[in-house]
Amino acid sequence: MQFPPLESENQRLRQEIDSHKKLTYRLRDSYVKITQSILSAKHIQRIALPSKKKLTDLFPGTVLIDRPRDVVSGDFFLAQRHGNWRMAGVVDSTGHGIPGAMMSMVGNMVFQQTLDEGAFETPGELLDKVNSRLRTRHRDAPQGALGDMSFDASVLAVHDSGRLVRFSGAVMDCIRIRDGEATIWRGDRASLGGSHIGALRRRNGTTQYATLEIEAQPGDQFYLMSDGFKDQFGGEHDRKLGRKRLAELLAEVGPRSAQERLADIQRFFLLWKGANEQVDDVILVGITP
């Protein structure tokens, strides 16, 4: 059996090593460029979406948790004044990561256009108008261009007196904490936009999102959140956190200051998640009227 000359074999090995090095450098360069692009997208998203300052100016002492799963997020919050009402909301776009972030830009644009026009009286009417605009965009777009573009949302409107709160939800819920007890209000089981939005009840001869009117008391806390929090797997038995356990947590931390509540909720989430991957974007907004 004859072996190739040692020098020839060494040359072949050097060529393979050089080839692997070049490939490694190209992959590293691509990774750096992709990471820089994602970070730039995050910066653009922060500029385009409502700022935390806008939310806290309307609702001092706001508790805000905003944890994207993949640097950029498909979840975003709303903050807007409407006459004698201060409005806050949470919106969860289809998907996460870059696709979710792109969807959030579309959703925010439609929400802001509708909020700025102000042609609505209740949060339910706001969701009706947003839903109509999204479905029009979906219908007019080239077939398949927008996929099943849909959004879940929850909106609170708080009267300047602080004594009256209105809530409307598209799939999302609202949790009120009062005197250590949690009350959960469920939104309509129908997403905004998309080809399949679920079932809306007929009101006044047409399908509409419902608005719940609540008399607020001093010390009440209201929480809106995307499903990334309650859907997170973790705990001793590696199960979803769930709506009930989340409500119990919010009731437990209710007597504490806003800063303490924020720290305790974040700590609980991280301990619950443990070594598990974060399953979805997470956003939670807690306000006191």
Residues 6 or more apart whose Cβ sits within 8 Å of residue 122: 157, 166, 168, 211
Radius of gyration, CA atoms only, the chain: 24
pLDDT score of 202: 56
Task: Please check whether residue 129 is in contact with residue 120, taking contact to mean a CB–CB distance below 8 angstroms.
Answer: yes
SS (H, E, C) 221-249: EEEEECHHHHCCEECCCCEECCHHHHHHH
For residue 165, give the H/E element and its range: strand 164-170
Average pLDDT score over the chain: 88
Task: Tell me what the mean pLDDT of segment 130-154 comes to.
Answer: 76
Q: What is the average pLDDT across 209-237?
A: 95
pLDDT single digits (tens) 164-176: 999 999 999 999 9
pLDDT mean over 239-249: 96
Distance of CA 260 to CAs 56, 203, 227, 288, Å? Answer: 16, 42, 23, 15
The answer to whether 283 and 90 are in contact (CB under 8 A) is yes
> Alpha-carbon distance 260 to 250, whole Å?
12
pLDDT at 143: 56
What DSSP element (H or E) covers 91? strand 85-93
Return the HEC string of 17-75.
Answer: HHHHHHHHHHHHHHHHHHHHHHHHHHHHHHHHCCCHHHHHHHCCCCEEEEECCECECCE
Question: Any bridge partners for residue 287, and if so which?
Answer: 222
Short-list 258, 287, 282, 257, CA closest to 270: 282
Q: What percent of the chain has pLDDT over 90?
A: 65
